[in-house]
Structure 1
């Protein structure tokens, strides 16, 4: 039948598709045969776009390269990615990440770029940004000044909500008891926000991290070892009233709590882009 592909009798494994076709790369290609593979056409692929509000000297490729610093070694030994965060500090993204409502495009692009370099670094960086967002949204003037000034000097932060199984974090007579699991970044952070139950709602508390007991035995992931999401025991830590952040229920306030999923999703998108990078690199060499 005219216009339809047919199997050639002279070569039963050859697919004849009529006249040669023009590919998306512009060159003319012959009919496809199982016996001959052409190189993949990569001409129309583009690197990750840089949002227009990113300054030229802060290209996303630089963020990805910074996050990737020593990534294979840190994934092998599970140590905190110190060198990567030194590189990110040098770019200025940890001191003053874009947190305003009109800066969401920029923030998501930065998080994706970090995840593209190393998912562990991206995950820790996202927690740092989330912490500063909550401090900015719910902190007193003194808390905002202290936390942002420390960030400008290189401090890194995290936020941990998941309670330790069998020993949830709680506040009794001004003293913390119990712990948090999935305490991402504990080995390299300076301070964190943790949550406790205050009646039916969750209350945020800002805590220093020096000297706390850390259980590293249970964190045995297939990947992202350098995120160091260990169990931290806060038992015996006396809470200063000034450590309280916001009021009960502020942590899960909408739409910000649900919308926060966009941040860690952006990191994961960066990881998927890294897989695409590796795939295209492999195909270009085969």
Structure 2
């Protein structure tokens, strides 16, 4: 069994993180309330993410990307999430696609798609979920059948991250040999045989979340990830890539906690209650101390998970799941604690805490609902104990 290495110390100065922090402070925070209200991620903002190299950061330099590791990106993803988790979420599908292509793609598939993703000329979408299938992959019914020059697709997909404007979709489908990962160019999307609907959401706004209906759609140039050897390997491939996504979600949650704690500290140091600042009261100190302690723990777990994902250790899946669970549950708690200190302010439309109230629960759902991940962790522990008995 390969044991996860200790996480590398985060550098004191990282040019990418510094640039992201400046972008968040100067561009995102002043206007994010309007973007959230209008459910839009402006083109100019996406273009700046591309200029920073964030969507293609995991693509190797020889393919035109940033050549970064997941561990190196944790500080930048977290900093970006302090501005808006929708930005960190919008770049995530390209990271998942990059991970899949590097681990399982043929030389031709890598040569075709990695330069597109690395340069930012196009981004990817990632799709597992269907109306009747989420954590239970046995219910996947969307099919892909080989046709001359591509694949014929039938079925429905839901919650396709990045699925409205992406250049390519990596999608779990049922083939003759089981579940496979289809690499589908998006030529022909939004047509009678490939219908697209954008899902309206309560929170996590501005991010494309699409629903697809395929009705005998012949996707020209579509193929199975890994070629013939990849047929029937889709569940293993796509679930294996989710470690990257779960670290990304953990970073979104850490960013929410950072902002909630900042609001709590602002209230504690500027608001007067009972003849003293709120922060002079022990109940406020206890709540802030609770958040600080749990934030340090969640941060350490996320860094450890990122190091394990990069190293490909046996613990990577469990650590990534645990980091996502712990950080996301803390995000919901942190917003609640900050809202109690801020009182009625937190319920005002347009207030940052009101937005965080809607965004934080998304981190408990994205890349696998927390309860499903807890069940998997618990089941593995019970089965392991039974084997040892």
Superposed structure 1 runs of 4+ greater than 6 Å apart? 98-102
The correspondence for 1:272, drawn from 257, 271, 278, is 257
Q: What is the TM-score with the length of structure 1 in the denominator?
A: 0.69
CA RMSD of aligned residues (A): 3.3
The correspondence for 1:169, drawn from 142, 156, 173, is 142
* Alpha carbons 1:115, 1:270 under 8 Å: kept: yes
Specify the SS of the correspondent of 1:276.
helix
Following TM superposition, by how much is the alpha carbon of 1:103 offset from its aligned partner in structure 2, in angstroms? 2.4
- After superposition, where does 1:15-94 map in structure 2 within 5 Å? 51-52=10-11, 55-56=14-15, 58-59=17-18, 60-62=20-22, 64-65=24-25, 70-94=31-55
* Alpha carbons 2:127, 2:161 under 8 Å: kept: yes
Distance in 1 separating the partners of 2:13 and 2:129: 34
Structure 2 residue aligned with 1:187: 164
Distance in 2 separating the partners of 1:106 and 1:199: 40
* Alpha carbons 1:164, 1:231 under 8 Å: kept: no
Distance in 1 separating the partners of 2:184 and 2:12: 34
Q: What is the TM-score with the length of structure 2 in the denominator?
A: 0.52
- After superposition, where does 1:240-255 map in structure 2 within 5 Å? 240=220, 243-246=223-226, 247=230, 248-253=232-237
Structure 1 residue aligned with 2:207: 227
Following TM superposition, by how much is the alpha carbon of 1:74 offset from its aligned partner in structure 2, in angstroms? 2.5
Following TM superposition, by how much is the alpha carbon of 1:176 offset from its aligned partner in structure 2, in angstroms? 0.2
Following TM superposition, by how much is the alpha carbon of 1:63 offset from its aligned partner in structure 2, in angstroms? 5.7
Structure 1 94/284 Cα, relative in aligned 2: closer, same or farther at 3 Å? same
* Alpha carbons 2:104, 2:225 under 8 Å: kept: yes
Larger mean CA deviation between 196-205 and 252-261 belongs to 252-261
Distance in 1 separating the partners of 2:84 and 2:222: 35
Give the number of equivalent residue pairs.
235
What whole-Å deviation, never above 9, does each CA across 1:8-33 have from its counterpart, x for those lacking one? xxxxxxxxxxxxxxxxxxxxxxxxxx
Following TM superposition, by how much is the alpha carbon of 1:64 offset from its aligned partner in structure 2, in angstroms? 3.9
* Alpha carbons 2:100, 2:241 under 8 Å: kept: no
Distance in 2 separating the partners of 1:82 and 1:202: 35
* Alpha carbons 1:196, 1:203 under 8 Å: kept: yes
Distance in 1 separating the partners of 2:99 and 2:57: 11
Structure 1 57/165 Cα, relative in aligned 2: closer, same or farther at 3 Å? closer
Structure 1 70/159 Cα, relative in aligned 2: closer, same or farther at 3 Å? farther
Distance in 1 separating the partners of 2:23 and 2:177: 41
Distance in 2 separating the partners of 1:165 and 1:81: 33
Going by fraction, where is helix more abundant, 1 or 2? 2
- After superposition, where does 1:1-20 map in structure 2 within 5 Å? none
Distance in 2 separating the partners of 1:234 and 1:176: 6
Structure 1 136/84 Cα, relative in aligned 2: closer, same or farther at 3 Å? same
* Alpha carbons 1:158, 1:191 under 8 Å: kept: yes
Distance in 2 separating the partners of 1:101 and 1:150: 14
- After superposition, where does 1:97-246 map in structure 2 within 5 Å? 97=58, 103-151=69-117, 152-165=119-132, 168-172=141-145, 174=147, 175-198=152-175, 201-210=178-187, 211-212=189-190, 213-216=195-198, 219-240=199-220, 243-246=223-226
Distance in 2 separating the partners of 1:278 and 1:231: 36
What whole-Å deviation, never above 9, does each CA across 1:73-126 have from its counterpart, x for those lacking one? 232122344332211111122233377999231122232222222111211212
Following TM superposition, by how much is the alpha carbon of 1:179 offset from its aligned partner in structure 2, in angstroms? 2.1
* Structure 2: gaps (5+ residues): 1-8, 61-65, 134-139, 272-389
Following TM superposition, by how much is the alpha carbon of 1:185 offset from its aligned partner in structure 2, in angstroms? 2.3
Specify the SS of the correspondent of 2:129.
coil
Distance in 2 separating the partners of 1:229 and 1:235: 20
